[in-house]
Chain A
């Protein structure tokens, strides 16, 4: 099967139908992230002031995990917020959809069992009933049906599926030995403590050691570190790169070794319950968490609201925005007591006056493609949640129906692909201009080695292109000039706090959640609002 064949099958389904009885046509479209509207901002929209401004207490810009977390934290203290979201749907890169046989994610889709140090996230999980208690040593216990049901992962390796991502039995002795050595290094790093007494790597990042010897790892690439440590087998390099693509959208050559090692060493929980999968999984992915955060906020939420500028003044902040929800854009201004900016650096810099913009870090963002395939396939009693193809172009797919306990033939496969090379601009431009048929063909082609019949069992294939899915922790992301490592204050101004994960350049749920909570708490304190003890 070639890409051309697939394109033909999608584009000219009726023609192919007539000649090849098995090729059935499926439908689909490009959904979500509205690049054109976003680019209104880049191309400059006018800021003509008009009539009397609306009033709001706190404006939260952005409804991704950090924005929703800030609103959740403020809601916990009874503080009202007005949340403005550019897209028609909430969640940022934890967006989700509910049309189809099972809810499904459009982005972040799991949460590894959080460390006890991720206190805000554990509080959230308690509220959700996902954490049921704590052992004497502080380790949380989880509601078991929310942990990923076995089997959680499988790898399509040399023509067949193997349980787990590491097909130990199929590796040759050298590869196996190297993998085992890597596991030893990993275990050592997980328990490693810096000279300042802090763990070398932990989550949220702010708790990690600032030992210069450890931070020095941030000045080399993960590829260089693997080379230095003598990890050279193709399997291990694939395995590590799979991780850096999965969490950072980056190949080994464009990611900081500190970040790469953090991925493997930051998760500390080891309990009897977590002998199996330690992933918390919902059909709609982390959208389930965002939904809860938004449910708990006080105030209101507006979709399709493009913020144009934030203008701090003595005594208040003016938010200039375009309401895009009607037929024609409508200008509006909002006078608020404070603003939580929960948008990435490249957006925040355009909204802020130059003096504040200068304090916002601009990160390289990785483009992603997510596809949801509505499929009806014969029951596979041992199908894993996460199916990965060794050396596939993408990261494989998760079965969004996996946590249902009843056997069902129809489900939704959520496919992910990170574009990890250094030319993010070129890739982004290409992706945004691609047509649906072409993107859909690429998805099917990538999965074809394991599922040559996928097109025939798919009724719908929707695609979402994320131009800026997540910050990429490139070498120097923690330590380069102008970026203080683990900068403690999110306040850019007395009334403006920045909550986005671009602050540390590291997109994990707990990180975004902590950033949102920290921004909310710092702002409330500055505004002398009663907010109680910190949730962090």
Chain B
């Protein structure tokens, strides 16, 4: 599919007209390098790097981003930055360290979802220059996902899948994680 959408911009409800743009990369070769930059905090402006294997649907990223944005606007972030908060929120748990470890990237990550909060136009060129990998269409996200790991991380039970999709189940956990 040559015309597959390689970047998607999601609109967010907020007062600063910020949007979220998402890219998907496979066969990434420099995950270790990116991770070092993240830890050092030297990426400016910041980006969020997500382990694409455990995110089966964009709805999950959207819900987590909106939640992060709400916390950002109220000044109640639980992590260092808005972008880190996005990765943390995707996990739908209260445990920051474990969330970043599971849903952020690791040294040997091959498939990476990159997300950026921005106003105006997204800087796609910069993202491509940072990530050494193959930019692929976001419609491949669901086929990349490792469903066994997803179900294990989110503790999704079979009964739950009778009343909705995996994305629905995860969305509920993200919403309810601080209740």
Q: Do A and B come from one complex?
A: no
Q: Which A residues are within 8 Å of any B CB, using their own CB?
A: none
Q: Which B residues are within 8 Å of any A CB, using their own CB?
A: none
